[in-house]
């Protein structure tokens, strides 16, 4: 979406986070694969040579955990702006985002819903704000790679975007063989698949190993679950033209390589992610975000701690992660999240820990401070007021 005005940098200061402690769990069409920056480069990075990001700012972490626990009853799990803002209509409920139509624009509300395994697992305090502000930061930083649809951000949970025609394909980019879901690269590789979404995978790889080069593994936007698809199938099914696919593939790989570079400069590894693209009224292909995973956030991406990756990998242990993977693993250990009709309730400690990790990632990547909400005003009332004011000035 070509931005009519540059998206604002993520707003709201608190206290820059540098350290944290986490529990330790012992051929693509006409597009050259993008190589990720070497992890060894971290050794000479001035921003990470002095201390590990896990060296713990215990007071800040405790403050966030305490605030998250107090906010459990004020999470934004559902929105009804079509009832409170007259200019809005036609609500569409995504896994994380609620989308409202406002003539030539869309109002995208990022909720606190936590999605995995194609279903909502919990509501995480401050998550919607973190995702929205993280995504806005990345939209702003990646305009040299691709235009986007952001018009404004009238509220910490809201982005107003230009309406566009969405390609019915999610562009998943991967740099490592990992994951725990049915469509994750490690799951299919471990079952013996060696040609996945048009990518020939080498023999002898193990879980969490870096791929020789970053790859695209697109999925179609199915109603209930994502379906892996090859580039040839995308064209054969009429989902995109060959020229559109080539342009989007190139943009997706470039975005991922840039994201890996920024992450590594800040002591993190961007492992994999997913992107959405669409066409504006003038035919321009743009980076968009309507499903609600947001750009390079813990919802759309896996992140690992860089300076412990090789040690963990060589020991056969899971990497230290700063995303929702540990929540996925908890549910897989306690139920069948794909088949069980009723899932166990996520423990409060786990929910609050996830809130902390999302804030940690935001502050680490952006080198800025996250402002915890200081008012007890219901989030929905605040959003309704801010959106109504913004729409009156468009």
What pLDDT sits at residue 291? 65
Picking from 59, 42, 60, 61, the residue whose alpha carbon sits closest to that of residue 51 is: 42
Q: Please tell me the total number of residues recorded for the chain in this structure.
A: 394
Q: Tell me what pLDDT residue 378 has.
A: 87
Pick the residue with more confidence: 16 or 167?
A: 167
Mean pLDDT calculated for residue range 307-312: 95
Counting residues of the chain whose pLDDT is more than 90, the rounded percentage is 67
* Average confidence (pLDDT) over 341-368: 93
Query: Which domains are present in the chain?
Result: 39-392 (3.30.470.20)
pLDDT at 269 over 90: yes
**Among candidates 218, 221, 151, 170, which has minimal Cα distance to 1?**
151
Check residue 74 and report its DSSP letter: G
**Which residue from 104, 112, 105 is spatially nearest to 132, judged by alpha carbons?**
112
Q: What is the pLDDT of residues 270-293, one digit of tens each?
A: 999 999 999 999 999 999 987 656
Q: What is the pLDDT of residue 47?
A: 39
pLDDT at 159 over 70: yes
Mean pLDDT of 60-79: 93
| pLDDT score recorded for residue 323 | 78
Q: Is 346 a residue whose pLDDT tops 80? A: yes
Mean pLDDT of 224-252: 94
Question: According to the model, what pLDDT value does residue 14 have?
Answer: 26
pLDDT value at residue 1: 43
CA dist 105 and 243 (Å) reads 27
pLDDT at 224: 63
Report pLDDT digits (tens) over 82-123: 999 999 987 898 888 999 999 899 999 999 999 888 788 899
pLDDT digits (tens, 9 = 90+) for 24-57: 333 333 334 445 556 554 433 433 334 545 445 8
Q: Are 164 and 147 in contact (CB under 8 A)?
A: no
Q: Is the model's pLDDT at 22 over the cut of 70?
A: no
The beta strand positions in 21-138, using DSSP E, are 89-93, 97-102, 105-110, 113-116, 119-123
Indicate whether 182 pLDDT > 90: no
- Note the pLDDT of residue 53: 56
Distance, in Å, from the CA atom of 35 to the CA atom of 52, rounded to the nearest integer, reads: 25
């Amino acid at each position: 979406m070509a931005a009519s005005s540059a998206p604002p940098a993520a707003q709201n200061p608190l206290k820059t986070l540098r350290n944290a402690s986490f529990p330790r769990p012992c051929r693509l069409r006409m597009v050259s694969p993008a190589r990720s920056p070497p992890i060894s480069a971290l050794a000479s990075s001035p921003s990470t040579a002095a201390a590990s990001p896990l060296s713990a700012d215990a007071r800040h972490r405790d403050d966030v955990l305490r605030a998250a626990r107090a906010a459990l009853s004020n999470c934004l799990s559902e929105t009804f702006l079509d009832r409170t803002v007259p200019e809005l209509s036609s609500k569409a409920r995504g896994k994380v985002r609620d989308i409202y139509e406002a003539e030539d624009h869309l109002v995208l509300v990022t909720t606190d819903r936590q999605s995995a395994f194609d279903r909502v697992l919990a509501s995480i305090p401050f998550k919607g704000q973190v995702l929205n502000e993280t995504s806005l930061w990345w939209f702003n930083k990646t305009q040299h790679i691709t235009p986007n649809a952001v018009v404004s951000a009238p509220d910490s949970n809201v982005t107003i975007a230009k309406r566009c025609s969405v390609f019915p394909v999610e562009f998943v980019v991967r740099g490592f063989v990992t994951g725990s879901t049915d469509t994750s690269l490690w799951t299919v590789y471990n079952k013996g698949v060696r040609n996945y979404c048009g990518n020939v995978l080498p023999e002898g790889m193990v879980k969490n190993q870096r791929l020789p080069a970053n790859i695209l593994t697109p999925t179609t936007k199915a109603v209930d679950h994502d379906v892996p698809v090859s580039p040839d199938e995308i064209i054969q099914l009429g989902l995109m033209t060959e020229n559109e696919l080539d342009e989007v593939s190139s943009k997706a790989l470039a975005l991922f390589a840039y994201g890996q570079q920024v992450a590594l400069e800040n002591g993190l590894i961007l492992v994999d992610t997913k992107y959405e693209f669409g066409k504006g009224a003038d035919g321009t292909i743009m980076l968009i975000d309507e499903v609600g995973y947001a750009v390079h956030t813990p919802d759309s991406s896996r992140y690992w701690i860089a300076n412990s990756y090789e040690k963990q990998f060589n020991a056969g242990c899971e990497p230290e992660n700063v995303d929702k993977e540990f929540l996925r693993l908890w549910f897989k250990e306690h139920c069948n999240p794909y088949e069980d009709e009723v899932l166990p309730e996520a423990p409060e400690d786990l929910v609050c820990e996830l809130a902390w990790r999302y804030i940690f990632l935001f502050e680490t990547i952006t080198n800025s401070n996250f402002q915890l909400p200081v008012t007890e005003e219901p989030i929905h009332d605040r959003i309704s007021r801010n959106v109504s004011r913004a729409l009156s000035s468009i």
